[in-house]
Amino acid sequence: MSSSVRQQQPAEAVASGRISTLVQSIYRSLRRRIGKNGPKNASKNLPKETPTDSPNILSRYSSRKSSKNSSRNSSKSSLKLPSLIDESTARSRYWVEEPPINNHPDAVALIRHYRADIEDTDRMIRLLKEIRLKAWKIKHYPCVGQWLFFKFGMTEHAIYPEVIERLQQGQRILDMGCFMGFDGRKLIADGAPSEGITNMDLEDRWFPLSFELFKDEDTFKGEFFGDCDINDPELFEEGSIHRHRYDMIYVGYFIHLFPPSHQPKIIANLAQLLKPDTGSMIFGNTSGTAKENGYLMKADFGPPTTNEKGETVRPDFMFHSTKTIVDLMARGVKGDGEWDFTGEQSPIDLDLSPTKAYAQHFKDVELVNMNFCMRRTSPSSSLAH
């Protein structure tokens, strides 16, 4: 059973920003280099620390940046996020030792699809644990500790078949905060061409791990962009190769990483990566609650942070309801054309072991999955065509 909320936003004319011809030609020439000769050629201009040992792993995202001033720490994020909690605390809260393969037949089928060489289940489990441990050492995210990446949030959307169809027609999707790119691999296994898939993340160390698991370096023709921070204006402002590039943007379990007061800005930034055309859309999943007005809690699972008054506080964490998620999307693109917004909740199966651990920690929340989608119903009013 699921419930949904839908809302349309009236058009408000705003005229600003136009992709310059210069940027378009730089972009076209960069695409040519990446596309025809493979990204290894493009990687000549990448910062040294970029893991370029696998094809398709790219790092720079702005045609303005030179390799000299582009560095791993160059993200000019206006938002200072608290760092993660220490490993032993994270492990005590989020660690689930065995991969819950029996609860996730889709994930197992996906791995078998790519790794026909691993017939033996014990071998597959060993490999999964090895790669998951490497990912955990990079960042001890709850989703890594609890194997939540086995859950393909994209397939939970009713529009999933439409997404595949649009990719088959040559459209492009951006998976922002893609982690190891499981959702993109699932799209390909379900019939989408890999050419139209762009995976993007702040952390580029996930990507070599994903090639270690899926072994698809030779067949994956899409892109991985690392070192990309959704808070960084250079990612989405004029001058970036990603500005207004994507027909569809997927954000799986991503929005809740940011404080609720900052989330409309995240939506606004994502919208700048989207094509300004009717039908382009942003969709995703986030932490949800069955409570009507959402559930705001102090994130006692995160480290303390400093507020505007200089006080040490726990960061806020928002579980969205269908109503608050629609409100968030509408606030994010207020003034930028007409949109259709949908928020849809579906129950979480508390019998699945990782989510049970999660649910115990958030027992007052009335946890649900929150799926959302925002689709342009008229071209962006911020661009003259």
Ligand X SMILES: C[S@@+](CC[C@H](N)C(=O)[O-])C[C@H]1O[C@@H](n2cnc3c(N)ncnc32)[C@H](O)[C@@H]1O
Closer by beta carbon to ligand X, 141 or else 295: 141
The whole-angstrom separation of Cα 42 and Cα 60 is: 10
CB 100 to ligand X: min, Å: 14
User: CB of residue 162 vs ligand X: minimum separation in angstroms?
Assistant: 19
Confirm if 274 and 230 have CB atoms less than 8 A apart.
Answer: no
- Closest approach, Cβ 22 to ligand X, in A, equals 27
The minimum distance between CB 317 and ligand X, in angstroms, equals 13
Q: Please, which residue, 143 or 383, has the CB nearer to ligand X?
A: 143
Cα–Cα distance for residue pair 292/157, rounded to 1 Å? 21
Nearer to ligand X, 147 or 341 (CB): 147
Least distance CB 311 / ligand X (angstroms): 24
* Residue 81 Cβ vs ligand X, minimum distance, rounded to whole Å: 7
Closer to ligand X by CB, 227 or 338: give it: 227
For the CB of residue 106, give the shortest distance to ligand X in the complex, in Å: 13
- The CB-of-28 to ligand X minimum distance in angstroms stands at 25
- HEC-encoded secondary structure of the chain: CCEEEEEEECCCCCCCCCCCHHHHHHHHHHHHHHHHHCHHHHHHHCCCCCCCCCCCEECCCECCCCCCCCCCCCCCCCCCCCCCCCHHHHHHHHCCCCCCHHHCHHHHHHHHHHCCCCCCHHHHHHHHHHHHHHHHHHCCCHHHHCCHHHCCHHHHCCCHHHHHHHHHCCCCEEEECCCCCHHHHHHHHCCCCHHHEEEECCCCCHHHHHHHHHCCCCCCCCEEECCCCCCCHHHHCCCECCCCCECEEEEECCHHHCCHHHHHHHHHHHHHHECCCCCCEEEEEEEEECCCCCEEEECCCCCCEECCCCCEECCEEEEECHHHHHHHHHHHCCCCCCEEEEEEEEECCCCCHHHHHHHHHCCCCCEEEEEEEEEECCCCCCCCC
Which one, 230 or 326, has the nearer CB to ligand X?
A: 230
**Which is nearer to ligand X, 45 or 75 (by Cβ)?**
75
Closer CB to ligand X, 128 or 230, in the complex: 230
Measured from the CB atom, is 246 or 254 closer to ligand X?
254
The site for ligand X (CB under 6 A) is made up of 141, 143, 149, 153, 177-179, 201-203, 228-231, 252-254, 257
Q: Which residue is nearest to ligand X (CB)?
A: 252
